Amino acid sequence: MIRKKWKRMLALSMACTMTVSMAVPAVAAQEGETSLQTAEAAELQETPEQFEARTGYHLPDGYTYVLNNGFVIIQTDGSPQITPVATPEPTPEETPTPTVTPTPSATPDVTTPTPAPTETTTQPSATPEAITTPEAADPAQEAEAENIPVITAFPQSVEVPVTVEDYRFWTVSASKKAAQAKANLEIKEEMSEDSRSVGSLKEGGICYILKKEEGWYYVESGNVRGFVEKKAVKKIGDKNEALLTPVYAVEMIAPAENQAYTYYRATIQQTEAKKSYALCKGDELNIRADKNTDSEIVGTMKKGNLCYILADETEEWVYVESGEVRGFVKKEYLQTGKKVNKKVKKTGEDQFTLAVAQVDPKENPALYYTITSMKAGIPDGAIRDSIVDYANGFLGTVWEKEGTSLCEGIDTKEFAEQIYEAYGYDVTDKDGNVQEQGKVSVDQAKPGDVICYGSGEEASAAGIYVGDGKIVQASETRGKVATVKVDTTQESFALELFEDTKVIAGSKNISEVNATEAMYGQDLGLFKLTYYCACAKCCGKATGITASGARVAEGETIAVDPSVIPYGTKVIINGHIFTAQDCGSGVKENHIDIYVDDHERALALGCNYAEVHLMK
């Protein structure tokens, strides 16, 4: 099942644009090599042509010479050492899972790491022996069936989508999201009846549907977040009497222990906290993961640094946020009150220095002590998908003339502008007019672009394009935020405020042809190629050290199945020389994972097939 999902993901990842501009050098004659040699061979050092000219020997059909550094190996009886021509075997019957991690929306957290090997593989000699690939189905047919291209050169450039990464929760409209339990039920940590229960909900109890999955809903009920089967609840209207005195789920485990708690960070609860300023008193103050000095230090502040108190304001230890750092400090080391409020407002919040993080925010144990923050969150992922997802979260919000609340009431123009403001983009210029830069025709619009109606100073944002000729709009006609068709009767255009970034695929020259024709050795056949980087998503741990002990290097490192291509073996792929240095749990048989320096390029390069040769 997992393997099938990966195949679908890989097919999606190949939607990126590839520009191919280099041809593969001609392939030299297939030659196996061995480390065997004799004194005669060392003395004579004859090429096959020289040997045949001297002896008159004719090589039998279906055989080739066994060479040592290009010279014929002469046996003790004076005859040459020969071997049957190896016919390259095709790739294995079942395509292994690649180590590269695509960004499908459905299973955002699923990765296949490239861990260290579980057994030691003997290093090959300087002159590798001929390699025989395992039996399998025709790789060309497999590539065609999976709609994965066979390439003859690495792409010179690829389209990498602009991505956003965040950890904060964001508030969505509760409209049309309420559901009622048909009977007593338990909210699950995973989409499985066998998974752990994180909360219980009585018959008639209320939950809010935040995300729809196949056969399941991801819901929120009070402080419980997890999965319920679709058949276990019924949707109810916004005016249902049950919402007047709602009964919510009871926690069975703490949110910090619930793996489903942050599966999808939308919530109907308020996420933007009221500002409660505080300034650091001490020369240096540690921000900790818990309310004691033995807990992990997650950040540090210096004297005069600004933070905001988010929770436990009257207790000995308070929960604070300063920039990207969230955790606990003793209140006695903070300066608060009217004087601080006045000072911050007079000086300006952006003029104060903030805390320095000691751990990645997502590795901070105190990160979700409260879901409130000083700013709203946004969905992770490719920015276009994120914008559409974010806009859809407000479906059902009431349209209100000159309204400014995404959840309580908003007008058409304000809706589109606020969606983009959350991502740091302005739809209008300093004069309040729609930006001139980035205008394209509606038929060129991509999901996530702004659709505008009118022209010149009369133009205004109408909604967020979601594809198929539709936009999410705070619609005056519908009286709410809804998905509607683009009005083709009006003068309209699309506004593209960001472009998918085109990056060079070979910043360290993986696409450079550095193998000469004479370097080509045995043809190992057609291999599946995927791409990975040294991040934790790709490798489990971001050490940068390969299974063979070498440090990863773009343009050199590849992960292989060591039983097929031993560590240290040099191979030629699309004219470039690589060294087998790494392995991966998903890299089996005729599959090679090529190392690149950054994750986005690894995803964008996707998956393809190519002929692989041993280097002589």
Helix ranges restricted to H, 506-549: 536-539
The three-state secondary structure class of 251 is: strand
575: tokens are 């004219």
Which residues are CB-neighbours of 530 under 8 A, at least 6 positions away? 10, 98, 99, 100, 591, 592, 593, 594, 606, 607
Is residue 7 situated within a structural domain? Answer: no
Give dist(CA 582, CA 559) in Å, integer. 4
Give dist(CA 278, CA 267) in Å, integer. 27
Q: Specify whether the backbone of 424 is left (phi greater than 0), alpha (psi in -120 to 50) or beta.
A: left
Pick the closest to residue 475 from 400, 418, 421 (CA basis). Answer: 400
Q: What single DSSP character describes residue 31?
A: -
Q: Select from 495, 530, 559 the last residue of a domain.
A: 495
Give dist(CA 194, CA 197) in Å, integer. 9
34: tokens are 């061995």
Q: What angle do CA 391, 396, 398 make, to 5 degrees?
A: 105
Is residue 93 situated within a structural domain? Answer: no
| 389 and 491 housed in the same domain | yes
Is residue 22 situated within a structural domain? Answer: no
Q: What is the CATH number of the domain that holds 201?
A: 2.30.30.40
245 burial type by CB count under 10 A (0-12 exposed, 13-18 middle, 19+ buried):
exposed
Cα maximum dimension of the chain: 103
Provide the residue range defining the domain that includes 401: 383-495
Phi, then psi, of 175 in degrees rounded to 5? -60, 135
Query: H/E/C letters for each residue in 445-488?
Result: CCCCCEEEECCHHHCEEEEEEEECCEEEEEECCCCEEEEEECCC
| 488 and 560 housed in the same domain | no
218: tokens are 């991801």
Give dist(CA 101, CA 537) in Å, integer. 7
Amino acid occupying residue 349:
E
Is residue 290 situated within a structural domain? Answer: yes
Report the Cα–Cα distance between both ends of the chain, in Å, rounded: 40
| 291 and 257 housed in the same domain | no
The predicted structure's pLDDT at residue 382:
81
The predicted structure's pLDDT at residue 535:
85
The three-state secondary structure class of 208 is: strand
Q: What single DSSP character describes residue 105?
A: S
| 249 and 300 housed in the same domain | no
Q: What total number of domains does the chain contain?
A: 5
Chain segment 442-454, per-residue pLDDT in tens: 999 999 999 999 9
Q: Select from 363, 391, 411 the last residue of a domain.
A: 363
Query: Are residues 443 and 434 in contact, defined by beta-carbon separation less than 8 angstroms?
Result: no
Phi, then psi, of 65 in degrees rounded to 5? -70, 145
Helix ranges restricted to H, 94-231: 139-145
Pick the closest to residue 128 from 570, 604, 508, 469 (CA basis). Answer: 570
pTM: 0.58
Amino acid occupying residue 270:
Q
Q: Select from 363, 398, 433 the last residue of a domain.
A: 363
| 427 and 471 housed in the same domain | yes
12 burial type by CB count under 10 A (0-12 exposed, 13-18 middle, 19+ buried):
middle
Pick the closest to residue 95 from 138, 130, 35, 51 (CA basis). Answer: 138
| 470 and 409 housed in the same domain | yes
| 489 and 406 housed in the same domain | yes
| 263 and 217 housed in the same domain | yes
Using alpha carbons, list the distances in angstroms from residue 152 to 12, 555, 614: 21, 17, 16
Low-confidence ranges of the chain (pLDDT < 50): 1-42, 87-127, 503-507
Compute, in degrees rounded to 10, the torsion defined by CA atoms 570, 571, 573, 576.
30
Q: What is the CATH number of the domain that holds 436?
A: 3.90.1720.10
Chain segment 292-314, per-residue pLDDT in tens: 999 999 999 999 999 999 999 99
Give dist(CA 404, CA 116) in Å, integer. 53
Query: Are residues 582 and 549 in contact, defined by beta-carbon separation less than 8 angstroms?
Result: no
Query: Are residues 75 and 38 in contact, defined by beta-carbon separation less than 8 angstroms?
Result: yes
| 256 and 295 housed in the same domain | no
Query: Are residues 298 and 322 in contact, defined by beta-carbon separation less than 8 angstroms?
Result: no
Phi, then psi, of 416 in degrees rounded to 5? -65, -40
Q: Is the dihedral of CA 226, 231, 237, 240 positive or negative?
A: negative
The predicted structure's pLDDT at residue 566:
93
Pick the closest to residue 604 from 514, 525, 507 (CA basis). Answer: 507
| 488 and 538 housed in the same domain | no
| 334 and 437 housed in the same domain | no
Is residue 348 situated within a structural domain? Answer: yes
Is residue 135 situated within a structural domain? Answer: no
Query: Are residues 376 and 422 in contact, defined by beta-carbon separation less than 8 angstroms?
Result: yes
Give dist(CA 153, CA 450) in Å, integer. 37
| 256 and 280 housed in the same domain | no
Q: What is the CATH number of the domain that holds 596?
A: 2.40.40.10
Q: Is the dihedral of CA 530, 535, 536, 541 positive or negative?
A: positive
Is residue 477 situated within a structural domain? Answer: yes
Pick the closest to residue 31 from 520, 515, 514, 516 (CA basis). Answer: 520
Is residue 564 situated within a structural domain? Answer: yes
Give dist(CA 575, CA 15) in Å, integer. 25
Amino acid occupying residue 171:
T
Q: What single DSSP character describes residue 350?
A: G
374: tokens are 């000083």
The predicted structure's pLDDT at residue 157:
63
